[in-house]
């Protein structure tokens, strides 16, 4: 069966290879697992809550309408970190295509807990997530519609946790020359290193990175993951390392930081304003490619 729905999950199985699958939790419309011929591409904490009690630690959580906490921004100051989309029950809208295998999920105010919705001045909105699986790629696309009578601002981000073998053998390429806001140092700087490598916690927002720059996660010279963005100007690179991992109750195993890196495409370095009736579209494509340095 290429699309299987249970009460809590939707599972896509590629017709040409039953070991190529994607599993999506309806809570948060969170992609939990994506395998290519049986090889897991995403990292999921063994402590992740999958019962709808909180956002999932791992996979591809969805960040909307705010990235992080913004206590000094009136419209979003009371929202929890990363907003409410990742911690709300989305509606499975069904399969929309056979080739590529495609399904959709929807979120509206009716799906969001009142105590959260009221913290965003109760704006009216519709989110449609589209998930497309091919033999060698996974594409997640979002459509955000302002169904209200007034404009409102938002952030969007795919909080993608990628599986890697060893963080100390891993680097992220094609970011030299890009402006970055370092969330740890709380300063901005131009990336001068030929690659981003990891010897401690890394938490950086690379800003307004051209969509023409594909971001690659490379280990020992081999490209493990390639990310192609469409209309997602910013790229967050995050690894919690030892101390931050210890501080997250649902981050297990505690040395799991060695096997994951978050490459998070989004629109987070400023707020996007949506006019009544306007629809904003963006997507991330994760696929296998050969090594392609576009900037060193």
Instruction: Note whether 82 binds ligand G6P by CB under 6 A.
Output: yes
List the interface residues with ligand G6P, window 250-269 (CB under 6 A). 262, 264
Minimum distance, C-beta of residue 261 to ligand G6P, in the bound complex (Å):
10
Minimum distance, C-beta of residue 278 to ligand G6P, in the bound complex (Å):
27
Instruction: Note whether 203 binds ligand G6P by CB under 6 A.
Output: yes
132 token code pair: 């497309």
Helix (H) or strand (E) holding 117: helix 114-117
Q: How far, in Å, are 33, 63, 109 from residue 252 at the CA level? A: 16, 21, 32
Cα 117 from Cα 145, distance rounded (Å): 16
- Comparing CB distances to ligand G6P, the nearer of 30 and 33 is 30
Minimum distance, C-beta of residue 274 to ligand G6P, in the bound complex (Å):
23
Minimum distance, C-beta of residue 80 to ligand G6P, in the bound complex (Å):
8
Cα 84 from Cα 82, distance rounded (Å): 7
Instruction: Note whether 183 binds ligand G6P by CB under 6 A.
Output: yes
- Comparing CB distances to ligand G6P, the nearer of 132 and 234 is 234
Residue 86 annotated in ligand binding: yes
Helix (H) or strand (E) holding 227: strand 222-230
Instruction: Note whether 81 binds ligand G6P by CB under 6 A.
Output: yes
List the catalytic residue out of 14, 27, 82, 159.
Answer: 159
Count CB-CB contacts under 10 A for residue 3.
16
Residue 81 annotated in ligand binding: yes
Residue 163 annotated in ligand binding: no
Q: Which residue of this chain has its Cβ atom nearest to ligand G6P in the complex?
A: 238
Instruction: Note whether 238 binds ligand G6P by CB under 6 A.
Output: yes
Cα 224 from Cα 217, distance rounded (Å): 6
Minimum distance, C-beta of residue 114 to ligand G6P, in the bound complex (Å):
21
Number of residues that bind ligand G6P (CB under 6 A): 9
Instruction: Note whether 161 binds ligand G6P by CB under 6 A.
Output: no
Cα 219 from Cα 231, distance rounded (Å): 27
- Comparing CB distances to ligand G6P, the nearer of 101 and 236 is 236
- Comparing CB distances to ligand G6P, the nearer of 221 and 247 is 247
CA 168, distance to chain mean position in Å, is 22
| Residue 63: partners with Cβ closer than 8 Å, 6 or more residues away | 82, 83, 85, 86, 155, 156, 157, 158, 159, 264, 266, 268
Q: Is 159 a catalytic residue?
A: yes
- Comparing CB distances to ligand G6P, the nearer of 126 and 183 is 183
DSSP annotation string for 121-149:
TT--EEEEEEEEE-SSEEEEEEEEEE-SS
Helix (H) or strand (E) holding 245: helix 241-247
Q: Is 136 a catalytic residue?
A: no
Minimum distance, C-beta of residue 234 to ligand G6P, in the bound complex (Å):
11
Contact assessment for residue 201 and residue 237, using Cβ atoms and an 8 Å cutoff: no
- Comparing CB distances to ligand G6P, the nearer of 5 and 201 is 201
Q: Which of 81, 108, 95, 135 is nearest to 248 (CA)?
A: 81
* Interface contacts to ligand G6P, rule CB under 6 A: 81-82, 183, 203, 236, 238, 248, 262, 264
Binding site for substrate, by residue number, is 57, 81, 86
Q: Which residues are catalytic?
A: 159, 264
């Amino acid at each position: 069966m290429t699309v299987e729905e249970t009460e809590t999950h939707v599972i896509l199985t590629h017709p040409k290879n039953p070991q190529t699958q994607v599993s999506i939790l309806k809570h948060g419309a969170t992609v939990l697992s994506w395998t290519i011929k049986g090889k897991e591409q995403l990292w999921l904490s063994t402590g992740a809550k999958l019962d709808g009690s909180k956002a999932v630690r791992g996979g591809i959580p969805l960040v909307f309408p705010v990235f992080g906490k913004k206590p000094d921004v009136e419209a979003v100051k009371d929202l929890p970190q990363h907003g409410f989309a990742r911690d709300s029950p989305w509606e499975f809208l069904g399969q929309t295509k056979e080739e590529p295998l495609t399904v959709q999920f929807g979120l509206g105010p009716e799906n969001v807990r009142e105590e959260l919705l009221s913290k965003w001045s109760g704006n009216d909105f519709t989110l449609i997530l589209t998930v497309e699986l091919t033999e060698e790629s996974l594409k997640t696309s979002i459509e955000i519609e302002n169904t209200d009578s007034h404009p409102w601002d938002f952030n969007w981000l795919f909080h993608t946790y990628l599986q890697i073998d060893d963080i100390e053998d891993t680097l992220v390429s094609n970011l030299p020359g890009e402006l970055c806001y370092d969330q740890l140092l709380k300063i901005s700087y131009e990336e001068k290193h030929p690659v981003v490598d990891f010897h401690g916690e890394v938490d950086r927002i690379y800003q307004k990175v051209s969509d023409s720059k594909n971001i690659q996660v490379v280990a020992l010279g081999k490209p493990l993951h390639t990310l192609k963005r469409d209309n997602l100007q910013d790229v967050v690179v995050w690894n919690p390392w030892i101390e931050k991992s210890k501080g997250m109750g649902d981050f297990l195993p505690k040395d799991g930081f060695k096997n994951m890196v978050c490459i998070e495409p989004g629109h987070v370095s400023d707020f996007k304003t949506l006019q009544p009736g306007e629809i904003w579209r963006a997507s991330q494509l994760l696929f296998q490619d050969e090594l392609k340095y576009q900037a060193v």
